[in-house]
Structure 1
Amino acid sequence: MNRLLFVFLFVCWQSAGSYAQIQTDICENSVPNNWNAINGRLSMNADHFKLGKQALKWDWTTAGKSILKVQSDAFKAVAANPRSTFVVWIYNDTPINDKLVFKFGTQDKTVSSFDFNLNFKGWRTAWVMYHRDMVGKPQADMDILTVHAPTTVKKGSLFIDQLMYDVTINPRSPMRDEQLPFVNPEGDKAANAHWNSLYAFNRTPHYLPLQVKLESTDRTDMAQITQRYKEQILSSAKTVGKNAVQDVEKAFSYWNIGRDGGRITGRPVYSTNDIELVSLSPTESVKETNRLSGIKRYTELMLLVAQLYQTSPDAVDKQKLEGIFIDLLDHLEDQGWAYGSGMGALHHHGYNLSDYYPACLLMKDVIKKHNKLDRTFKSMAWFSGLGRTLQLPDQLPSSNIDVFNTLLGSMLSSILIMDDAPEKFRYMHSFSNWLSKNIEPDHTIEGAFKPDGAVFHHGNLYPAYGIGGYSGITPIIYALSGTSFSVRQQAHESLRNSLLMMHYYTNPYKWPISVSGRHPTGNWRIPDVPYAYMAMAGMPDGSLKTDTLMASIYLKLNGKKQNKWATAFKSSQIKPVGYTRGHWNLNYGLFDIHRRQDWLLTVRGHNRYFISHESYPGANMYGRYFAYGQLEVLFPATKADDGSNFKDEGWDWNNIPGTTTLHLPLDKLRANIINADDYSGIEEMLISDERFAGGTTFKNQGMFAMKLHGHDKYDMGSFRATKSWFMFDNLVINLGSGIQNTIAAYPTETTLFQNYLKDSTDVLNINGTAINSFPYTKKGEAGKPLTIVDNRNIGYYIPDAGDIVLTKATQVSRDQKDSRKTIGNFAKLIIQHGNAPVDAGYQYAMLIKTNKQALESLALLQGSTKPLYKVLQKDNAAHIVWYAPQQITAVAVFGTNNKLSDSLLMGNNRPCLLMYQQKGEQLSMSVTDPDLAFYEGPDDSPLTADGKRKEVSIYSRNWYRSPAKPSVMQLLVKGSWVVKAGTNGLQASLQPDGNTLVSVKCTDGIASKIELFKENKRRI
């Protein structure tokens, strides 16, 4: 929440210079001198108010001829600002099927106009951008606004408040609603459409037929779902004291709600987006401005009242709580939080309104008693966007993690509050179908769950958002399980796989910094509760038998907490899961996972589809290099050590382990964050123009490779490198070639490690000698190998240490928020490539969880005739490594049909990642096409006048919603080979020269397995 407020403040400051745009409440103290009513009367009135304590009342007296006229030079400024927006709040006592017409111009002409429907009761607002949303275009000479009263009603009254002639706002914010259906129509296709498309959702017709007759099993299923979900709501209730009701009454009094006959008044209930309109200075704290976003505070009180009502045994207390809840409900509706209202803008309303829905569900009987059930259902359905579930399954747009995190339970509550009737059951079936479709694997970068198990948000692998999504979805999956409304098997499997993958890339609680998004704090933690709900939801095939794998992961994560889940799982003889072993590629997100013993190693890259980093104002301000090949090793945390090498106290953001970077002064590395276009907010999310990045896996081993190209935004267009990582058991071979740039002012470096030193005397072992000196510097010698065991027991073998520099030193830096100077002690090992290098490279190996004896043995082996591994090729054509213990060859081929130093692969039609093993007459292989091909052809980045790639939003790309395209990989393999009979999707054809052309389908960056046999040993 605080982050959102900061971003909104930043927008205001950007638009108004060094201070926020200032709002003056011209509808508070007296009728403005420049306002006049023709055939009507203007007065100040306290019956209704949105800001302050009174509003301007307009009584019109003549149908079609009553006009409110406002004259101001402020309108002249809007022609020069494409983001100028008109804002007003209007209160209507009596809904009518008519409209107001707002006209802007001069005494002689109208140049811009818009209509405002009056089919509502209560407060409604208009946020209308002059240039985009109105009919006509504003002109520099316009100085008059006329508001024309309805033509079909003889007379009437309206209240006007918070009128603002010219506000500069984020163009993504305004949303259309029942009063303003023409506003920001492109918002229905934008990245924030899940918030903004309420009007479109509300107009979606049912595609399912109405079930005329309800079966007893239908009612039983619905009752079970309702019971399960209500239990979840009540179990989340906070512990309250003996004076809970009195505390509620005190909290309720803050809102100053009162009734006078049929009229209700009280403190305004603000939306988060109202922060874009209010008067703020840069010196005001975010905490202070938080009070203006009152909807979250308000609905939290509603849920507390509802939970107390359900659990209180005292009849008097229940009566008090009933009255408080109905007052809260009515005042909320009157304030504009009602069916059909867009509140001007509702960005992120799923977070701030989340308690409203379960509160209403718990109070259904009370709401129904007061004859407000239909009204409440309509408002709940509107704000939750329930209509999105009514779209035909094959036409559904992808829903994102925000929806699952904040709106899924809201939609279910909206259905469950209905009385049992055919319409309710039709909604529930649509909801189940919609949920299934959106959990099933999505093949674009927009949706949430990918075929390889990656969880996505902002077009990127993003576990920090994923935990909210899992926490939102899994309770619903459990609530629906075992009923006719349970999700489809493929959906269940997809969610389960995604949860399993998160378990694989956490160790066991924390995930790597490289996938921390814009918050590289090292403090994120995997949630345990989703695994419990998935365990209780049963197996994907629909059987209700406990999912023991999910249960065992839950027991691992929850530690020794005693609760109903832990008791049930342990009584079923389920034990906590141990540390797993294997290798996984998440090529949606360009993230490789390698595990042995109790440690986790990951590698992260980027390309022309997946961003290098995400930075916001005050968040990850120095993270430009996060996906430049970041390699991390995580060990389990202990009381003395959190298992990571990272600490944001003196951390040098230029030297992220595994990356090849340009070492810049911090002021030049600091992100220059802008609002790149109308598709984005204030953020930086850069992509490359290179296609090649990805990994493959084979027999629990793996490799990852990428072609790195810096972004022109920071004049790094000449910065290039080709990088690869070969991961075999506890050995990692790291290769780099083609490192080059023309930037002579700063050095280019590859970082092997940057480790936080808990104690400056922490020992490093260098060529067998323990070093505890501090500070300390050592440079390698050209032509000589170097072995180093760092303070985390990770070994490094560098065959030629000529460019190596090892330091132990105190570092001064800035924290990731750029809010303060930081200092810390670090050990750092880098390879210096010099300034403006030309075709530089590197080669080194790592042994994870090792000691000096094991590392010395590796060095001896590599100097012998029987090395542990061989680097067969390291150039712009390919990186190839052979691993002796398993006789595995791993190949990254960056082009097509290049000459390779490989005895098996003779040609290829597409760049690829290949691993293989030949045992006698059998050849086993895995191949991956790293290009997911969301679009084909050359890079589509727009260019500036001087030919440089321009920064634009990832959301503006026309391929953002395009699915990955499969490819057919053709490999020319030496010798005569055949495919095992019955193998689908794989072909092997013998060529005239006696070699074999193998064709295999590749899709979604998932490794395709190949089994071949010598032609004279055909297997059937």
Structure 2
Amino acid sequence: MKPHLLSYSLPVAFQTLSLCVAAALWTPDTQANADLTAQIESFEANALPADLSGQGISLTTERAIMGDQALVWSWDKADASITLKRHFSRLSDKEANEAKGVYSGYTQVLSFWLYNETPQDNDLRIRLGNASSFTDEFTINLNFSGWRAVGVSLNNDFNLGQNSSHAATMDLQQLRIQAPRGVASGTLIIDRIMVSVDDNRYQWSDEQVTTRYDVPEIDFGLSSPLPAVSQAELDDAEQIKASLIDAFSSNPGTIDSLESRFAQFEIEKNSQGVISGRHIITDKQQVIYQPDHLSPTDKPDFDQYALLGESDSSGDKLAGYAELMLDLGKAYHHAAFINDRERIADMYLLMTEHLLDQGYTHGSSLVTTHHWGYSGRWWYISALMMEQPLTQKSLLSPVYQALLWFSREFKESFDMALKPDSSNLDYFNTLSRQHLALLLLNPDDQERIALLHKFSQFFSGALAQTPPGTHDGLREDGTAWRHHGHYPGYAFPAFENAAHVSFMLKDSAFEIAEPALDKLKKAMIAGWHYSNPYVPLALSGRHPFTDLSVSRYNNGIKWLAQSYPILDRTLASIHLQVGNYSQAQSKAIFGEEVEPAALPQGSWSFNGGAFAVHRSGDKMAVIKGYNQDVWSAEIYTNDNRYGRYQSHGSVHVIPAGDPVDNGYQQNGWDWNRNPGATAIHLDYDQLESPKSSTLMLRSDEGLSGATSLDNRFTLFSFKHKAPQNLAQFEPTFVAEKHVLAAGNQLYLSGNGISNQDGQHATETTLFQLAMTPQSSGIWINGQHHDATSFTTELGSGDWIIDDNGVGYYLIEADKVKVRRGAQQSRHNKTKADTSGQFSSAWIDHGVAPANAGYQYVMVMDTTPAEMASLASAFATSPRFSTLERSLNGHVVNDRANNLFGYTSFAANDFSQGPVKHLGTASQLLVQQDKKEMSLSVSSLTLNIGEDDAPTQPVSIRIELTGKWDVDTQGINYYYQGNNTVVTVSSLFGQAATVALSQDGGNDGNGNGGDTGGGEDNGGDGNGNSGQPASGGSGGSSSALGLIMLAILAARRTRL
């Protein structure tokens, strides 16, 4: 059985998925912990440390990593050594985790920097010991020049490869550096010796040091001999290169602004060729320092570091080194800088030399470079743009080799051998264009063309494939998976950059295959459907109140439209709508006139994310649950702390436009009152995750999913059962929730709402909206209320319209509280107090409810007159009703559309409407019009296979009242008595649709389907069939009868 609480402490260094969900970080209310304070010797004093001994040691200001000074060791005799006699405080992994406040994920690390002028194939020995003897050692190969970082786990990286291993001494009082055996003289520079706590996944081996983590290099796997290349292929490659450069060739500012930014990095090269500058690190390399616990002595020097990428998790460093390299590349190709190209090239080449000297070179792990794409992505593009100056300076080859080396974190993609984990959304986002740029830098014509062909095939496959299990990638229903689930925050930028790659390869020998374009198109259109234009709270992952919108990939929509052999007008029209372009403007964009799309209208189910979308006018309803396969929310210690109820059957009806203007703002937001959700109202300390690391809760037994009919109607169900062994979660909390969406109305019902929490009220929230200048106030039973302070209580038969014009008619809701006023809350990341003015309404089920329920109707856009009319109509002839409730079944009805919605949480018989039986956990929508019937049926489980097994479809058996002909091809059915049994397959929760009809009764010719035995075919499970469609005896054993049955089965099964 799959685990329900996802843990991301997997001991595999290069598992990119786990990188993004690292264990808990320090929080502002955590007291400083001395165990987390890095023990650092940075050689910044005026004299050598008193506890350091050895021949030939001195201080230097010529080169340094931390601060302005480093230690120079020049030895002139064999077996020389230097010894630092210092008592370092040691922590076991258990103690390191306790210091961090987590169960696992951290280790104590010894790390330092070495500068070597001349490479040699000899090993430096590092020896560790207590006060009286040396007990442990490891070696460092000196086969390098420049700076190298060394980092080993003191608890896990000693005695590697031996039958038994142990941690380095827990009484660490000596650190000795021993010169290579037999080497009589040499010089090394040493800086920033440190013992600190680090994430235990990220001490990577390299060509100098061996740790427990080997991150294999990329293997392109090219055949030999390589095929000959044509001039057309070479021309195509040059055109792709020109297109990629052109795509990034914008004006990056002025030469003065570029000079100013360059000066901030303090890069200099003296007359002896010694290059110096700020120490360059990646954002994730800050973790090893535990920045929030650095001593006041070390923190200022640490803050002088500069970041390769644009992100700075500590918030106090100069960032954007690689981005400046990109901007220099842009300037080099821009006409406005034609007279400054020499100076631009000089700055770029100095930045390149500095990076290489800092250890960003082939064979150097820098301890770790995880999340490399976010830090290093602009280095690739800038290198392509500056290919000519790099070549002239003999730097192209070392840069190419360095980029190839650091790309190994994404080996499963860069190898270009299609595998289940090859569809990584982070790769598409941060490194797919960079991968292409790297291949274009290969100077060998035959290799370059072979690699581009392989890239095309791989990229096509990575987009088109449906990865097995929970691997990253695009799914059949339009969801896009990252972190084991649908994740727009990762998907939207991946869409854009994958489409850009496709566009650049169009009309070349390396173009992307059309099935890949189609798969990406489906995911892009899905994103348009579930955004308005912003991504709703329910789909925000660990970033509630995100400003992510479909415009994030609107350029990608345009590029993908243009990637097809002829313009894809559907995508083109969506691009125009999202960008607010007119039909007149379309000619300049696409070379032909295209009418902009209207806002999408209708209903869609996305069971890959356990949610559904229903749209009417400019409003979008998002209905969200979770289950065994789909997590409820991504909760980190410092992100989305209070997101427990994000998927508790939430229903948000969101107008188009800015969410803040429409009342969705974080300040003052009550995290317990997610609209539509049923929740136990807790204080924020109790609501916060009980886990000190990542919590991505799946359900122990609960089911949730949706099915949509004709993209017009949707049935959604959520069966909730709280986790049984998780602190701060009430284990007795259960509930069922159902939504039927049709037209501009949603019928919401809940039943079986129960728990034994005797202290906190259970609530179902109707709405929660911040009062903004755009707020119109609320209407209650015809009375308008716009005061900032107001409370009342409503009951069954009442109605209310919220500040966004959404109406709520209370069919069965005896205690509904309405409140307008100030709310106090906390920020989801910092826990800082927040406040705001809010308008809210919720059903109060009371403390420890037993089988509570509710029914109400939402009208997505309405007026007081319409609500009054609806209330009057419901009083005499309700449009919606619940026809049947049982342990495993639920039936709802919409009279206006002759629509029935069936939910079975297990095999279940029904007594109401046209459906008699559903054979497994599934949902079915039925619309009947006299002698025609339409079905949409979906499995409530995704049936995700273990490990890398492909997802298998779920077979669903449906028994219908009466005899019906199936008009849909490929559907098996037969008659059982006077009923019709239909069997369909649902893959990954997608709906199977079936059209049926009656022609006045069966023609009596025995046009029945498969009558073989087995329970799913209407038999008794012992090989005895149900009644054949002819109406004759199912037990006939005559040869003629059997032959006839076979013939009739073939006729009735539409192939």
Q: TM-score range by the shorter chain?
A: 0.7 to 0.9
Q: Which residue in the other structure is 2:914 paired with?
A: 904
Question: Following the alignment from structure 2 to structure 1, what is the Cα–Cα distance between the partners of residues 809 and 605?
Answer: 26
- The amino acid that maps onto 1:520 is P
Q: Which residue in the other structure is 1:951 paired with?
A: none
- The amino acid that maps onto 2:695 is E
Question: Following the alignment from structure 1 to structure 2, what is the Cα–Cα distance between the partners of residues 370 and 205?
Answer: 27
Q: Provide the secondary structure at the position in 2 that maps to 1:657.
A: coil
More divergent stretch after superposition (1002-1011 vs 463-472): 463-472
Tell me the CA shift for residue 593 of structure 1. Answer: 0.7
Q: Find 1:644's aligned residue among 654, 662, 677.
A: 662
Q: Which residue in the other structure is 2:588 paired with?
A: 568
Q: Which residue in the other structure is 2:602 paired with?
A: 582
Compared with structure 1, are the counterparts of its residues 246 and 976 closer, same or farther at alpha carbon in structure 2 (3 Å cutoff)? Answer: closer
Q: Which residue in the other structure is 2:324 paired with?
A: 301
Say yes or no: does 1:546 pair with 2:532: no
- Any conservation in 1 of the 2:149–2:366 contact (CA below 8 Å)? yes
- The amino acid that maps onto 2:59 is M
Q: Which residue in the other structure is 1:968 paired with?
A: 955
- Any conservation in 1 of the 2:813–2:855 contact (CA below 8 Å)? no
1:292-331 equivalent positions in 2, closer than 5 A = 292-296=305-309, 297-311=320-334, 317-331=340-354
Say yes or no: does 1:21 pair with 2:47: no
**1:225-280: per-residue Cα shift (whole Å, max 9, x none)?**
11110101103x42x23xx1575167336423113434333332223234234484
Q: Find 2:696's aligned residue among 673, 685, 694.
A: 685
- Any conservation in 2 of the 1:615–1:673 contact (CA below 8 Å)? no
1:19-168 equivalent positions in 2, closer than 5 A = 21-29=37-45, 30-37=47-54, 41-61=56-76, 65-74=79-88, 76-78=90-92, 81=95, 83-106=107-130, 111-135=135-159, 136-138=165-167, 139-151=169-181, 153=183, 155-164=185-194, 166-168=195-197
Q: Which residue in the other structure is 2:880 paired with?
A: 869
Q: Which residue in the other structure is 1:668 paired with?
A: 686
More divergent stretch after superposition (148-157 vs 322-331): 148-157
Q: Provide the secondary structure at the position in 1 that maps to 2:88.
A: helix
Compared with structure 1, are the counterparts of its residues 16 and 151 closer, same or farther at alpha carbon in structure 2 (3 Å cutoff)? Answer: farther
Residue-pair matches, total: 952
Compared with structure 1, are the counterparts of its residues 12 and 211 closer, same or farther at alpha carbon in structure 2 (3 Å cutoff)? Answer: farther
5+ long unaligned stretches in structure 2: 1-18, 97-106, 160-164, 310-319, 1008-1051
Say yes or no: does 1:823 pair with 2:835: yes
Question: Following the alignment from structure 2 to structure 1, what is the Cα–Cα distance between the partners of residues 638 and 822?
Answer: 25
- Any conservation in 2 of the 1:747–1:834 contact (CA below 8 Å)? yes
Tell me the CA shift for residue 203 of structure 1. Answer: 4.2
**1:150-182: per-residue Cα shift (whole Å, max 9, x none)?**
347554332211111x21112233333333343
Identity %: 25
1:879-890 equivalent positions in 2, closer than 5 A = 879-890=890-901
Compared with structure 1, are the counterparts of its residues 818 and 315 closer, same or farther at alpha carbon in structure 2 (3 Å cutoff)? Answer: closer
CA RMSD of aligned residues (A): 3.4
Say yes or no: does 1:460 pair with 2:485: yes
Q: Which residue in the other structure is 2:975 paired with?
A: 990
- The amino acid that maps onto 1:403 is Y
- The amino acid that maps onto 1:661 is A
Q: Which residue in the other structure is 1:557 paired with?
A: 578
Tell me the CA shift for residue 431 of structure 1. Answer: 2.1
- The amino acid that maps onto 1:720 is V
More divergent stretch after superposition (843-852 vs 440-449): 440-449
1:522-921 equivalent positions in 2, closer than 5 A = 523-527=547-551, 530-538=553-561, 542-543=564-565, 545-559=566-580, 568-569=588-589, 572-637=592-657, 644-672=662-690, 674-675=692-693, 683-699=694-710, 700-711=712-723, 712-758=726-772, 762-772=776-786, 775-781=789-795, 784-864=796-876, 866-897=877-908, 899-921=909-931
**1:832-857: per-residue Cα shift (whole Å, max 9, x none)?**
11111111111111122122333333
**1:164-212: per-residue Cα shift (whole Å, max 9, x none)?**
1x21112233333333343435xxxxxxxxxxxxx42x24251555533
Q: Find 2:357's aligned residue among 330, 334, 343.
A: 334
**1:719-776: per-residue Cα shift (whole Å, max 9, x none)?**
1111111111112111111111111011101111123333699443323344445533
Tell me the CA shift for residue 687 of structure 1. Answer: 2.5
Q: Which residue in the other structure is 2:283 paired with?
A: 272
Compared with structure 1, are the counterparts of its residues 424 and 523 closer, same or farther at alpha carbon in structure 2 (3 Å cutoff)? Answer: same
Question: Following the alignment from structure 2 to structure 1, what is the Cα–Cα distance between the partners of residues 21 and 35?
Answer: 15
Say yes or no: does 1:439 pair with 2:448: no
- Any conservation in 1 of the 2:771–2:839 contact (CA below 8 Å)? yes
Question: Following the alignment from structure 1 to structure 2, what is the Cα–Cα distance between the partners of residues 373 and 761?
Answer: 59
Tell me the CA shift for residue 697 of structure 1. Answer: 0.6
Q: Provide the secondary structure at the position in 1 that maps to 2:308.
A: helix
**1:332-366: per-residue Cα shift (whole Å, max 9, x none)?**
10011111222212233322222212221111111
5+ long unaligned stretches in structure 1: 186-198, 676-682, 936-958
Q: Which residue in the other structure is 1:191 paired with?
A: none
Q: Which residue in the other structure is 2:226 paired with?
A: 211
Question: Following the alignment from structure 1 to structure 2, what is the Cα–Cα distance between the partners of residues 158 and 719?
Answer: 64
Q: Find 1:498's aligned residue among 508, 514, 523.
A: 523
- The amino acid that maps onto 1:506 is S
Question: Following the alignment from structure 1 to structure 2, what is the Cα–Cα distance between the partners of residues 562 and 733?
Answer: 38
Question: Following the alignment from structure 1 to structure 2, what is the Cα–Cα distance between the partners of residues 54 and 288?
Answer: 11
Question: Following the alignment from structure 1 to structure 2, what is the Cα–Cα distance between the partners of residues 411 and 482?
Answer: 20
- The amino acid that maps onto 1:869 is F
Question: Following the alignment from structure 2 to structure 1, what is the Cα–Cα distance between the partners of residues 614 and 529?
Answer: 9
Question: Following the alignment from structure 2 to structure 1, what is the Cα–Cα distance between the partners of residues 526 and 303?
Answer: 37
Q: Provide the secondary structure at the position in 2 that maps to 1:140.
A: coil
Tell me the CA shift for residue 467 of structure 1. Answer: 2.5
Q: Provide the secondary structure at the position in 2 that maps to 1:482.
A: coil
Q: Which residue in the other structure is 1:476 paired with?
A: 501
Compared with structure 1, are the counterparts of its residues 612 and 143 closer, same or farther at alpha carbon in structure 2 (3 Å cutoff)? Answer: same
Question: Following the alignment from structure 1 to structure 2, what is the Cα–Cα distance between the partners of residues 246 and 920?
Answer: 74
More divergent stretch after superposition (713-722 vs 812-821): 812-821
Tell me the CA shift for residue 909 of structure 1. Answer: 3.0
More divergent stretch after superposition (326-335 vs 845-854): 845-854
Q: Find 1:1002's aligned residue among 967, 975, 986.
A: 986
**1:621-677: per-residue Cα shift (whole Å, max 9, x none)?**
322211111111122238xx86634232322221111000011123322345613xx
Say yes or no: does 1:352 pair with 2:367: no
Question: Following the alignment from structure 1 to structure 2, what is the Cα–Cα distance between the partners of residues 411 and 786?
Answer: 60
Tell me the CA shift for residue 785 of structure 1. Answer: 1.7
Tell me the CA shift for residue 22 of structure 1. Answer: 3.8
Compute the TM-score of the two structures, normalised by the length of structure 2: 0.84
- Any conservation in 2 of the 1:112–1:130 contact (CA below 8 Å)? no
Question: Following the alignment from structure 2 to structure 1, what is the Cα–Cα distance between the partners of residues 837 and 43?
Answer: 59
- The amino acid that maps onto 2:1002 is N
Q: Which residue in the other structure is 2:1029 paired with?
A: none
Compared with structure 1, are the counterparts of its residues 558 and 1011 closer, same or farther at alpha carbon in structure 2 (3 Å cutoff)? Answer: closer
Compared with structure 1, are the counterparts of its residues 656 and 144 closer, same or farther at alpha carbon in structure 2 (3 Å cutoff)? Answer: same
- Any conservation in 2 of the 1:75–1:144 contact (CA below 8 Å)? no
- Any conservation in 1 of the 2:60–2:70 contact (CA below 8 Å)? yes
Q: Which residue in the other structure is 1:412 paired with?
A: 436
- The amino acid that maps onto 1:42 is I
Compared with structure 1, are the counterparts of its residues 909 and 5 closer, same or farther at alpha carbon in structure 2 (3 Å cutoff)? Answer: closer
- Any conservation in 1 of the 2:197–2:289 contact (CA below 8 Å)? no
**1:904-952: per-residue Cα shift (whole Å, max 9, x none)?**
33333321111112344443211111211235xxxxxxxxxxxxxxxxx
